[in-house]
Amino acid sequence: DAKTTQPPSMDCAEGRAANLPCNHSTISGNEYVYWYRQIHSQGPQYIIHGLKNNETNEMASLIITEDRKSSTLILPHATLRDTAVYYCIVTRRSDKLIFGTGTRLQVFP
């Protein structure tokens, strides 16, 4: 059973912030939210993860709601190279990653 729900596709203008939502209403207390992305047909690439606090790194920011039932991945200044499929995955830190179908983000000029 899928633990997350993501929109199948989104568009974003180059230079603008891309906000990718993810619903995970059945998340358990010891489960993390992970984001990976897959550019074209390459292998997935880790972006960011979090438990309950908001997180930021050089690639993106992760905003997790206080009830932890949803989260948003933010790419602050999207570029054409950010066009990819983005996967939101909820799992315990040592459990294996289960990928859903993700959100296909198209960044346009």
CA nearest neighbour of 103 among 24, 6, 5, 3: 6
The H-assigned helical ranges of the chain are none
Which is closer to another protein, CB of 15 or CB of 30?
A: 30
Phi, psi (5° rounding) for residue 80? -60, -30
Instruction: Please state the closest distance from residue 1 (CB atom) to another protein, in A.
Output: 12
Choose one: 13-21, 64-72, 75-83, 96-104; the region binding another protein (CB under 8 A).
Answer: 96-104
49 binds another protein (CB under 8 A): yes
Tokens of 83: 């066009």
Residue 99 as a binder of another protein (CB under 8 A): the answer is yes
The yes or no reply on residue 52 touching another protein (CB under 8 A) is: no
Query: Which of 3, 34, 78, 82 touches another protein (CB under 8 A)?
Result: 34
